[in-house]
Amino acid sequence: MKIVKYRTATIIGRISICLLFIVSGVALILASMYLEAPTGRKIISVVAGIMGILFFGRMLLMLMILLIKNKQMFRYDKENIIIRDKTIKLDTIKKVEVENDIPTGYLGIKTPAFVLNIKDGESIHIPTYYVISKKDFPVFNTTLKQIVSDRTKR
């Protein structure tokens, strides 16, 4: 059985980027409070700081959960693919697609995902959580398509 996982190094890199933007948001708020500036600029700084903290704070929480939990995207063998403890026979998968706005279930964040369309009309989502690099995304997509097409050709 082959296992495909999210890369820990990519998750840690995205966490550090989120932390950088959260610190920048806090710095904007503190700067607006302690530096002499027109009122309009202070209001804009506080609003921008709060928006940055809220957006990147949610992303940080999602990435921290992903760092702690099982990093397995899916696993497969010659007959089945297993996604989040759900076993799917490869010959029942009709098509593999990519969608951009799939809810993750974490704080209302939507993420790109691979979608496996099953012959009975059901769709199985494999979320990316924004931790697949641009270099790896086509590799995962091609791998999923090859797994499905190899099985359906038999």
Please state the domain count of the chain.
2
Q: Are residues 35 and 86 in the same domain?
A: no
Q: Are residues 84 and 142 in the same domain?
A: yes
Q: Are residues 10 and 48 in the same domain?
A: yes
Would you say 102 and 113 are in contact if contact means Cβ atoms under 8 Å apart? yes
pTM, two decimal places? 0.85
pLDDT of the chain along its 154 residues, tens only? Answer: 888 899 999 999 999 999 999 999 999 999 999 989 899 999 999 999 999 999 999 999 999 999 999 889 999 888 889 998 899 998 899 889 999 999 888 788 899 999 999 988 899 999 999 999 888 899 889 988 888 887 655 4
Q: Are residues 62 and 90 in the same domain?
A: no
Domain, as residue range, for 62: 2-68
Would you say 130 and 65 are in contact if contact means Cβ atoms under 8 Å apart? no
End position of a domain, from candidates 21, 43, 68: 68
Cβ neighbours of residue 85 closer than 8 Å, sequence gap 6 or more: none
Q: Are residues 56 and 96 in the same domain?
A: no
